[in-house]
Homo-oligomer: A and B are copies of this chain.
Amino acid sequence: MTDPTGHEAVPTPPTSAAVARRAGVSRATVSYVFNGQAAGRVGAGAQARVRAAAEELGYVPHAAARSLRAGRGRIVLLAAPADTAPVFGPLFADFLAGFQSALHRLGYTGVLHGAPADAPLDAARAWAELRPAAVLTLHDPPLDASAVDLLKRAGTAAVLTPGPQAPPGAHALLLDQSEAGRRAGAHLLAAGRRRIGVVLPAEPGLAASADPRLAGVRAAAAGHPDAAVHPLDLALTEESAARLVARWPALGLDAVFAYNDAYAMLLMRALQDAGHAIGTGPGRIAVVGADDLLLARLLRPRLTSVRTEAIAPDRLAHLVDTLVRAPSTPPATHRLGTFRVVPRASG
């Protein structure tokens, strides 16, 4: 059997009304049992009958329907491009795993929505269809005021977007990428480096963190009139690295902050293959990455790296829970972490 759009019909899932009939209780009682509100309202015998009837019928509560009844949803939507993990690195994947576990313990269903970033309003509409209790976006560009408004009208209690600025009504989540650049720049300047290259990845989606990192290095260099900062375009391919290294003698750089460890490893290998010495000593090129990957310690010299010290994922989950429970909390900026340099032999 097919419906007008050419789909076969799927059996209708069992409803809470059917469970109530089978257990001989009201629908409200079924609702109390499945929303964790049975204590003091539903006796132990009735609770057992409801659970047995649900088991027999194969009933599970409907997250979205429940969210409408309860006035809040249980879905926390993390809106991030599906390729966020490689962009943000393994630290992000670890953080995400911890965040989803923490949400689970708080009774939420965390889902990652990775569809392509559309216009803000289209994206917000797609997310609103899931009736989330909270939306955290990592999208670039961030939402605008009308997108936040649409989510709020669809019952989303808390909208959190990347800082430093957030649209009206939304909270800002701040991981200040310029700090990563300031730390890397200050480290290299303190070691006497004055001609500092800063890698700007050619891969899409990284400008939102690469540009503030460059600005951070420039801010660090501002106090040193003899220092110069040079942006360097680099794609994550051996060919691109070889092209950049061919220009190196003309650039005359004595240090590079390479965006992250992957770009740093690629560039360091290409510099070495062209006969440049890498390291902290005189006449060597200092190379600094970011993310503090294990693999980056396998090259020689071992890579100096800017490490992200993120807040514990359960702190973020608790923040979301707090905002969902009190949706009128005035929007604020919430800091996600800081950065520090882990000095090793490369620079």
Residues of B within 8 A of A103 (CB): 115
In the assembled complex, the Cα of A18 lies from the Cα of B294 at a distance in Å of 56
By the criterion of a CB under 8 Å from any partner CB, how many residues of chain A are at the interface? 83
A316 at the interface (CB under 8 A from B): no
In the assembled complex, the Cα of A109 lies from the Cα of B101 at a distance in Å of 22
Given contacts A71-B10, A236-B294, contact A5 B111 (CB under 8 A): no
Given contacts A71-B3, A154-B58, A237-B294, contact A63 B129 (CB under 8 A): yes
Q: Which residue of B is nearest A114, CB measured?
A: B100
A297 at the interface (CB under 8 A from B): yes
A14 at the interface (CB under 8 A from B): yes
Residues of B within 8 A of A13 (CB): 68, 128, 131, 153-155
Given contacts A70-B3, A265-B298, contact A157 B62 (CB under 8 A): no
A325 at the interface (CB under 8 A from B): yes
Residues of B within 8 A of A295 (CB): 262, 265-266, 295
B112 touches A112 (CB 8 A): yes
In the complex, which residues 1-16 of chain A have their Cβ closer than 8 Å to any Cβ of chain B?
3-14
B97 touches A90 (CB 8 A): no
Minimum C-beta distance from A296 to chain B (A): 9
